[in-house]
Amino acid sequence: MSKRARSNIPQFRVRVPAKAVVPLRGKRVLLLGTERPFIKVVKIGNDVSFSLETDDLLLAAARQANALDHLRRLFESDRSRARHSFAQGSARSVRRGVSDWRSGASSSA
């Protein structure tokens, strides 16, 4: 875990292996946390980085471990393109569901 300057919120950052950069560059990955709502859709480049969105070090460590495990499996997989396509479809479904929920919430108000 690292922190940005003038911030108490830990950041996740991992370098993408060279063999995985070319097929995955520019793709998006859906990362889901198992605790309180924590959903991240991150873009793959030479590295993957995002805010862990908590100053609780125990919760940040759990989110870091979850994201690192997911990304390592993605990078090491021979079928990374197929698995990533599934993740992209899941990310679209989540965004669509959130969008539908927001439009339903605003129309009932």
Residue 32, pLDDT score: 82
Per-residue pLDDT band at 103 (split at 50, 70, 90): low
Question: How large a percentage of the chain has pLDDT more than 90?
Answer: 21
| Enclosing H/E stretch for 101 | helix 80-108
Mapping DSSP onto H, E and C, the string for 51-100 reads: ECCCCCHHHHHHHHHHHHHHHHHHHHCCCHHHHHHHHHHHHHHHHHHHHH
Number of domains forming the structure of the chain: 1
Domain that holds residue 34: 2-108
pTM above 0.85?
A: no
Distance between CA atoms of 21 and 100, rounded to whole angstroms?
A: 34
Mean local confidence (pLDDT), 85-91: 60
Q: What tens digit of pLDDT does each residue of 47-60 get?
A: 999 999 888 889 88
65 phi and psi, to 5 degrees?
A: -65, -40
